[in-house]
Amino acid sequence: MTNPDDRVEQPFSLRSLTFSVYVPTILFSIGQGAVIPIIPLFARELGSSVAAAALIVALRGIGQLVFDMPAGIAVSKWGDKGAMVAGTALIGVTALGASFSDSPVVLGVMVFIMGGGWAFWQLARLAYVSEIAPIDQRGRALSMTGGMNRIGNFIGPVIGGFLGEQFGLESAFIAQAVMGLAAASMMFLVVTESEGSERMESHGLGGRLVDTVVDNRSIFLRAGPPVIALSVLRQARQVFLPLWGEQIGLGPSQIGLITSASFFIDAAVFYPVGMIMDTKGRKWASVPCLATMAFGLMLLPLTDSFETFLAVGLITGIGNGFGAGINMTLGADFSPPVGRGEFLGVWRLISDTGQAGGPLVISVLTGLGSLGLAAVASSGIGFAGAALMFFLVPETLHRTTRLIVGRPPDEPEVAPETG
């Protein structure tokens, strides 16, 4: 990456991230989206049971969770560029391996490693944007990153479904490999070397991680619960929309239409949300995100027709749209200049815990009561998260801006206090 003096002479522009972040994100996400609906189908084709197919799908999230901390260490040790290229290349290679799987076990191993590659990509991309985007443009930079990811995930399943139907299910994995390797090649050529790499002795890695948790314990304890609540809500939305639609008698095409409309609204508002985060503050996006999604889930048991169900789908889509890039932006704002990789590794671990645990929570709630009760209980988690976000989490835009006022332009940003 260019040195700080060069960045002063050439002010940061969102367009500078076009080929280093945004285009690779779309390519990467199209590839990811292409295999999301294919993984369980391919597992079944290879002879797995329904339960085993569900486990193979879950292995991607488990792999991401397991590799969050190693990815954070890799970002600090190798720099943003090295970890980004390594993550995307790893996914490309494992996707190619998945296409040649001859048993559910081999496919499961490939999907697990694929999740690890996703963790490397997520952490490195976040660290890179955190390092080069100034605080007053960081919300837009990361909301656009989240928006590109949403667009790719919207396009990917259509491509994966078409390829799987026309050329066999394994062709979707080949498409993912091509997209992943294309993204890795683009970043290798475009992304400049990061200043973020730090010299670390192997025996000091554990100590650095412990220090990161201890030094930032206040932030993790205060911001962690609402971040987990947001992850649970996002998983709940993906689970409840199809299941409740089926329960009230809607057909697959109607459920698919409502789901697409919900995700389209979600993907359409990312830039305005970034503007809100950069002008009003991060809470102006995070609190409405949590509260609106919670409100939509609370209304879900009251729906009994296509029209009312569509209204709830749109409400949850608007709510999640308010959260475009919010986890990344808060993580970037709170992360310290030294040890940023480890901090973001812990931050992603907290978020991914909610993502991995969300379906489990929903399953338990549904088993104890009903699908409607689980939706209402999930909405309660969301409202609690909104309250915690509003009252306990500091507003990082204004807080960080005050801290860096008067800072010479060649000095690094000062992270918010964590006490």
pLDDT tens-place string over residues 254-285: 877 787 788 788 878 888 898 999 999 999 99
Query: Does residue 235 surpass a pLDDT of 90?
Result: no
- Binned at pLDDT 50, 70 and 90, residue 222 comes out as very high
Average pLDDT over residues 33-48: 85
Please give the span between the terminal C-alpha atoms of the chain, in angstroms, as a whole number.
Answer: 32
Residue 161: pLDDT over 60: yes
Q: What pLDDT, on the 0 to 100 scale, is given for residue 376?
A: 92
User: Looking at the chain, which residues constitute the CATH 1.20.1250.20 domain(s)?
Assistant: 1-199, 204-407
Say what the pLDDT of residue 193 is.
63
**Model pTM?**
0.76
Which percentage of the chain shows pLDDT scores above 90? 28
For the record, the structure tokens of 153 come out as 């995930």
What contacts 236, CB < 8 A, 6 or more positions away? 297, 358, 362, 374, 375, 378
Q: Residues 83-99: what's their mean pLDDT?
A: 89
Give the model's pLDDT for residue 393: 94
**Confidence label for 206 from pLDDT (cuts 50, 70 and 90):** low
Contacts of 198 (CB under 8 A, 6+ apart): 76, 77, 338, 339, 341
For residue 297, pLDDT beyond 90: yes
Could you tell me which residue, 242 or 298, shows the higher pLDDT? Answer: 298
pLDDT value of position 295: 97
DSSP-derived secondary structure for 314-350: HHHHHHHHHTTTHHHHHHHHH--STTHHHHHHHHHHH
Out of 1.10.3720.10, 1.20.1250.20, 3.30.360.10, 3.40.50.300, the CATH code matching 204-407 is 1.20.1250.20
Residue 174's pLDDT is what? 94
Q: How far apart are CA 315 and CA 356, in angstroms?
A: 24
| Residue (of 373, 417, 397, 183) closest to 282 by Cα position | 397
Tens of pLDDT, residues 114-142 = 989 988 888 888 888 888 888 888 889 88
Alpha carbon distances (Å) from 192 to 70, 86, 184, 227, 329:
22, 15, 13, 31, 22
Which DSSP symbol is given to 14? G
What is the arithmetic mean of pLDDT over 229-254? 83
Pick from 8-12, 104-108, 332-336: least confident = 8-12
Between 181 and 341, whose confidence is greater?
A: 181
The lowest-confidence range among 52-56, 68-72, 219-223, 413-417 is 413-417
**CATH code for residues 1-199:** 1.20.1250.20
Is the pLDDT score of 406 beyond 80? no
- Would you state the pLDDT for residue 220? 93
Give the pLDDT confidence of 375-391 residue by residue, as tens digits.
Answer: 899 999 999 999 999 99
Question: Which tokens in the block code for residue 279?
Answer: 């002008």
